[in-house]
Amino acid sequence: MDVVVQYAIHRLNYKLEDIIIYAWSIGGFTATWATMTYPEISALVLDASFDDLVPLALKVMPENCRGLVTRTVREYLNLNNAEQLC
């Protein structure tokens, strides 16, 4: 996402204040990262995204894997949009 923002600034001559980011589903993670990194971005629209990946992962995994799934997601795939927005 950093490359996209840098391209908009340096090649398309946008100011950060003129950039609006729209993200769908898992793209919400990179979009929240961009707005966290560039707080001057004027708006962020999240469509059908999630705030935390753990509950979604637990729904599709067997109950006896709950601890492993939670630990793995938190340590290696911690796509926590809500954390980046706060």
End-to-end CA distance of the chain: 19
Burial of 61 (0-12, 13-18, 19+ CB in 10 A): middle
Q: Give the model confidence (pLDDT) of 37-79 as tens digits.
A: 999 999 999 999 888 889 999 999 999 999 999 999 999 988 8
Residue 80: predicted pLDDT: 82
Q: Does residue 35 surpass a pLDDT of 80?
A: yes
Helices (H), 11-86: 27-37, 53-59, 66-76, 81-85
Q: Does residue 86 surpass a pLDDT of 80?
A: no
Confidence tier at 82 by pLDDT (50, 70, 90): confident
Sole residue written with tokens 């090649």: 11
Distance CA 75, CA 78 (A): 6
Counting residues of the chain whose pLDDT is more than 90, the rounded percentage is 79
